[in-house]
């Protein structure tokens, strides 16, 4: 089975690297700068699950020579349009696409471009980041990849992908209801991203502040109300677990959205926060805290664009 990993960042680099380590036929679709970095340093994974440095086969836009059997989309939401254009030659009649982006909007976008029958749902749960030389730094033991058919059930191609992952050094899970998994992660992520970006602080810092824990719980309740209206209320055990995580005293947990803001980078604000607000509006659900976080992150983006324009104007 030919596997194309779109993006060799923390997620794509880790899961693609583990598949490559297990002897699978893997290539990485990357930009020129990342291709040069991988050629110089190799694809290095630093992890308590095992360190490894691999020679990573790469391909750049325009260099794809035929369809892939499996495409793992591991890019930021703001790179999705460009990534779809680059990957199009790899999408054939039998190609399965697993995106591991945040939120849900990308499912509709990919289905509109390539056909709904080609798109599965994917959820990556792995704390990882890139080091200064592009090494993948795995920050905690969890390294789970969950996937399934958007319409539910376990299909032959889902079983085939699970079989492909057997023996690779990560935990692969087939889901009979991937939309439930996606909504649960999105509810957790929106709360984490919204709160840590809005407060510019880690979860533990917010919890230690006046009204901090109550505000976190209130934002989570807004997200869960939207999920319930969409038919995917978080399951009790999951809700209990994420509530504990998002209200833990002393926690240094932050969202990548906050870290993107801290380094002056683009964010997935509209994809994560804006789409949650839009779905809430369709159901007539009030989400004042999510709306405030969305406004905060959007204002950051407007300011960055204004400053960039001022620089270009001299």
Question: Which positions are catalytic?
Answer: 185
| Sheet strands side by side (includes 144-149) | 120-125, 144-149, 171-174
Q: φ, ψ for residue 268 (rounded to 5)?
A: -95, 35
Helix (H), strand (E), coil (C) string for the chain: CEEEEECCCHHHHHHHHHHHHCCCEEEEECCHHHHHHHHHHCEEEECCCCCEEECCCEECCCCCCCCEEEEEECCCHHHHHHHHHHHHHHEEEEEEEEECCCCCHHHHHHHHHHCHHHEEEEEEECCEEECCCCCEEECCCCCEEEEEECCCCCCHHHHHHHHHHCCCCCEEEECCCHHHHHHHHHHHHHHHHHHHHHHCCCHHHHHCCCCHHHHHHHHHHHHHHHHHHCCCCCCHHHHHHHHHHHCCCCCCCCCHHHHHHHCCCCCCHHHHHHHHHHHHHHHCCCCHHHHHHHHHHHHHHHHHHHHHHHHHCC
Q: What angle do CA 12, 91, 178 make, to 5 degrees?
A: 60
Structure-token match 């805290």, residue found: 289
């Amino acid at each position: 089975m030919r596997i194309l990993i779109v993006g060799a960042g923390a997620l794509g680099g880790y899961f693609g690297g583990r598949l490559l380590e297990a002897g699978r036929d893997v290539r990485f679709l990357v930009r020129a700068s990342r291709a040069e970095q991988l050629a110089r340093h190799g694809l290095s994974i630093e992890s308590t699950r095992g360190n490894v440095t691999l020679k990573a086969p790469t391909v750049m836009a325009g260099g794809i020579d035929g369809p892939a059997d499996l495409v793992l989309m591991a890019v930021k939401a703001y790179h999705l349009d460009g990534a779809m254009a680059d990957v199009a030659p790899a999408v054939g009649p039998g190609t399965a696409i697993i995106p591991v982006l945040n939120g849900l909007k990308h499912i509709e976008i990919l289905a509109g471009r390539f056909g709904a029958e080609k798109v599965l749902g994917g959820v990556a749960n792995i704390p990882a980041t890139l080091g200064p030389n592009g090494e993948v730094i795995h920050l905690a033991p969890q390294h789970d990849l969950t996937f399934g058919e958007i319409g539910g059930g376990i299909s032959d191609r889902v079983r085939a992908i699970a079989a492909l992952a057997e023996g690779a050094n990560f935990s692969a899970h087939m889901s009979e209801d991937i939309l439930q998994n996606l909504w649960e992660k999105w509810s957790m992520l929106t709360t984490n991203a919204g709160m840590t970006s809005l407060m510019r602080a880690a979860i533990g810092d917010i919890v230690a502040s006046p009204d901090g824990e109550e505000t976190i719980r209130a934002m989570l309740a807004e997200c869960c109300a939207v999920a319930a209206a969409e038919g995917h209320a978080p399951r009790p055990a999951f809700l209990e677990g994420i509530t504990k995580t998002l209200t833990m005293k002393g926690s240094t947990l932050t969202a990548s959205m906050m870290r993107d803001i801290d380094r002056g980078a683009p964010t997935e604000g509209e994809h994560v926060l804006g789409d949650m607000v839009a779905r809430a509006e369709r159901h007539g659900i009030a989400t004042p805290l999510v709306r405030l976080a969305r406004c905060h992150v959007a204002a950051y983006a407007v300011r960055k664009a204004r400053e960039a324009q001022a620089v270009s104007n001299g």
